[in-house]
């Protein structure tokens, strides 16, 4: 699968999973980047700040240059 088909499939997936969002891809992408850390008792504690490591920066750059 080449890059264009992969990103097309990702966009379609975002439209299915986040159909009620105005921009489904951005909602899915930001949800993927959210740090989900578990707290006491196994209950997830979701921080809404995206990870900002080098891999995330590279992925964002690659997606927006296609």
pLDDT tens for each residue of 2-61: 888 888 888 898 899 888 989 888 888 877 766 566 555 555 555 555 666 787 777 777
What's the pLDDT score for residue 18? 87
What's the pLDDT score for residue 34? 66
Of the candidates 1, 16, 2, 3, which has an alpha carbon nearest to the alpha carbon of residue 62?
3
Q: What phi and psi, each to the nearest 5 degrees, are found at residue 3?
A: -60, -40
Taking each helix axis as running N to C, give the angle between helix 24-33 and helix 3-17, from 0 to 180 degrees, rounded to the nearest 10: 90
Residue 1 has pLDDT above 60, yes or no: yes
């Amino acid at each position: 699968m080449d890059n264009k088909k992969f990103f097309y499939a990702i966009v379609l997936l975002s439209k299915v999973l986040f159909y009620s969002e105005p921009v489904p891809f951005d909602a899915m992408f930001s949800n993927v980047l959210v740090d989900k850390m578990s707290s006491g008792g196994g209950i997830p504690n979701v921080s809404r700040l995206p990870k900002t490591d080098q891999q995330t920066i590279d992925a964002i750059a690659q997606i927006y240059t296609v």
